[in-house]
Amino acid sequence: MEVRVFDNDVEKALKVLKNKLSKSGLFKELKLRRAYEKPSVKKKRKAIEARRRLLKAQRRRY
């Protein structure tokens, strides 16, 4: 991942970088890996996320 700094505006570049990292899901992944997650909980969470993505895609279609 690359973020360019224009006119020594580091603050704006940091903001852009944080936004890109957030959209890529890195912060969410780090939060999940901080503590052990039981396989049953992990399976349930993934099912909920998949359902959420499916519903979001359906809403966009209409």
- Cα distance between residue 15 and residue 25, in whole Å: 16
- Which element (helix H / strand E) includes 57? helix 39-61
- Condensed to tens digits (0 to 9), the pLDDT of residues 7-56 reads 999 999 999 999 999 999 999 999 999 999 999 999 999 999 999 999 99
61 pLDDT higher than 90: no
Q: Is the pTM of this model over 0.75?
A: no
* Extents of the domains making up the chain: 10-61
What is the mean pLDDT of the segment spanning 1-12?
92
CA 8 to chain centre: 28
pLDDT confidence band for 1 (50 / 70 / 90): confident
Question: Looking at residue 62, what is its pLDDT?
Answer: 76
Maximum Cα–Cα distance across the chain: 50
Query: Which residue, chain included where needed, has tokens 């890195």?
Result: 26
CA 18 to chain centre: 11
Encoded amino acid at 1, one letter: M
